[in-house]
Amino acid sequence: MSAEVILSSLANGVMLGGLYALVALGLTLIFGVMKVINFAHGSLMMLSMYASFWLATRAGLDPYLSLLVTLPAAFGVGYAIQRAVIAPVLRAPEHNQLLMTLGLALFLDNLALVVFRADPRTLLVAYSQTTVPLGSIRLNLPRLLAFAGALVISGLLWLFLKRTALGRALRASAEERDGAALCGIPVGRVHATAFGIGTACVAAAGAMALPFFYVSPEVGNTFVITAFVVVVLGGLGSFPGALVGGLLVGVVESLGGLYVHGSLAQIGIFGLFVAVLLIRPAGLLGARHA
C-alpha cells in the first residue's frame, strides 16, 4: 500500500473526526449540564439534514448558507423539547430519562418515515466532486469545509462557555445544580438553553455533512452511535475529550477501512472503545471519581 493512500486516508479520517466531534460536543454539553443521555440526538440531526435538503432543493439555498435558518430553528426546537419533554423527568430516576429520550427518538424517526418515506436522498452541489491539493494528496472540498466549520463552531462554543455570563451559568449548573439555583441562576432556563445549543450543534453537523452524505429517516443512528462512543471515549461531559475522541475515532475508522471491508471499518472504533474503558474507565480526558 502506497504512502499516498495512507496519507489520504489519514486526512479523510481527521476531517470526518471533526464532524464526529461536533456531534459529540452537543451530546456531551447536554450530559454535562443536565446529566441526561439524549438518545434523540441523532434523530434531531436527521431532521436538520432534511431541513437543509429541502431548503437546497426547493429554495436553492446552499447547505452551508442554510445554517442561517436551521441553527436558530434547531435551537428553538431543542429549547422547546427540553421544557416540554425533558424537564418533567429531570429529577426522575435515570432509567425514566433514558426511556423518555429513546421514546422521543423512536417517535421522530417514525414520523420522518411517514412524512419523507424510507428512500435515501443525496444532494449534489456544484462543489461535491471538487478536490483541494495538499502536498501529494487531494482533499475533498465538502469534507474540508465541514471540518473547518466544525472547528469554527467548536471554537465559538468554547469561547461562549468561557467568556460569557450565560456560559458561566451553564458551567455552574453543570457543577452544582442546587448551588447554582441558590445563587440566583435560573437553572430551568439554563438547562433548556444547553439542550438548545446541543441541538444546534448537531443540526450544524447535519447540514455540513449533507453535501457528501445521504439523508434518510435512519441516518441519525449512524452518527449518534459513533457520537456516544466519542463521548465515552473522551470522557463524559468533557469538552476537549469530545474533540480528541472525535478526531481519534475518525482516524481509526478511516484507516481501518484500508484493511477490512467498508462495512467492518467501525470494528476498530469499538475495539479501541473497549480497550480505553478497560484501562481508563473515565475516558481519555474524563475526571476520575473517588
The pLDDT tens digits of the residues spanning 144-169 come to: 999 999 999 989 999 999 899 999 99
Q: What pLDDT, on the 0 to 100 scale, is given for residue 287?
A: 63
| pLDDT band per the 50, 70, 90 thresholds, residue 71 | very high
65 pLDDT more than 90? yes
46 pLDDT more than 90? yes
Rg from Cα positions in the chain = 19
Higher-confidence residue: 264 or 217?
A: 217
Across the range 198-222, mean pLDDT stands at: 92
Q: Check if the beta carbon of residue 63 is closer than 8 Å to that of residue 123.
A: yes
- 0.85 surpassed by pTM: yes
104: left (phi over 0), alpha (psi -120 to 50) or beta: alpha
Residue among 36, 82, 74 nearest 201 (CA): 74
Q: What pLDDT, on the 0 to 100 scale, is given for residue 225?
A: 85
Longest dimension (CA), the chain: 61
What CA–CA distance (Å, rounded) separates 221 from 137?
A: 31
128 pLDDT more than 90? no
Across the range 170-185, mean pLDDT stands at: 87
Q: What is the pLDDT of residues 74-105, one digit of tens each?
A: 999 999 999 999 999 888 888 888 899 999 99
The helix/strand/coil state of 82 is: helix
- Long-range contact list for 224-228, CB < 8 A, 24+ apart? 224/23, 224/27, 224/39, 224/41, 224/42, 224/43, 224/45, 225/42, 226/20, 226/23, 226/253, 226/266, 226/269, 227/20, 227/23, 227/24, 227/27, 227/41, 227/42, 228/27
